[in-house]
């Protein structure tokens, strides 16, 4: 074999090894972890300030804003600390996350539906109806 052929084969082999390194999972740095930490602290401090400062007039508005910030914080944790993306482990991590989210949505919505209907159908409409109950 000629030395040029060996070098071309070695170069192709090195490129292939570098491409498969880490199974496609991103490698984080100290800067990435610090960025995630600072974002997590900010996204924790904002809801605390919203509640303690009574920024919004109604508690429903405050709750909706806090839930939205919570969703953003979940995404920050998944990206910066769990290193989740569409390429990690051939996409299986993302597929497992989507499956989990579907199960959680089905479980929560079904539970809320059952509790609402139990409350609606089982509770007396008037207080005087309670006096007639056994």
Angle made by CA atoms 81, 85, 87, in degrees to the nearest 5: 130
pLDDT in tens, 6-42: 455 555 544 444 444 445 555 678 998 999 999 999 9
Read off the pLDDT of residues 110-133 as tens digits, 9 standing for 90 and up: 999 999 998 888 876 666 566 666
d(CA 102, CA 66): 22
Token pair for residue 27? 């490698």
Per-residue pLDDT at 98 exceeds 50 = yes
Structure tokens belonging to residue 117: 């209907």
pLDDT by residue (tens digit) across 43-53? 999 999 999 99
Task: Please state the φ and ψ torsions of residue 81, each to the nearest 5 degrees.
Answer: -110, -35
pTM to 2 decimal places: 0.58
């Amino acid at each position: 074999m000629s030395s040029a052929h060996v070098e071309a084969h070695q170069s192709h082999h090195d490129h292939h090894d570098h491409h498969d390194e880490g199974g496609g999972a991103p490698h984080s740095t100290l800067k990435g972890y610090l960025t995630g930490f600072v974002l997590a602290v900010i996204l924790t401090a904002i809801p605390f300030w919203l509640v303690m400062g009574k920024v919004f007039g109604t508690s429903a508005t405050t709750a909706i804003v806090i839930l939205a910030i919570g969703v953003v914080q979940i995404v920050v944790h998944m990206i910066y600390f769990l290193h989740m993306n569409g390429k990690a482990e051939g996409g299986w991590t993302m597929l497992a996350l989507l499956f989990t989210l579907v199960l959680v949505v089905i479980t929560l919505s079904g539970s809320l539906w059952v509790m609402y209907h139990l409350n609606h159908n089982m509770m007396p409409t008037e207080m005087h109806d309670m006096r007639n109950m056994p």
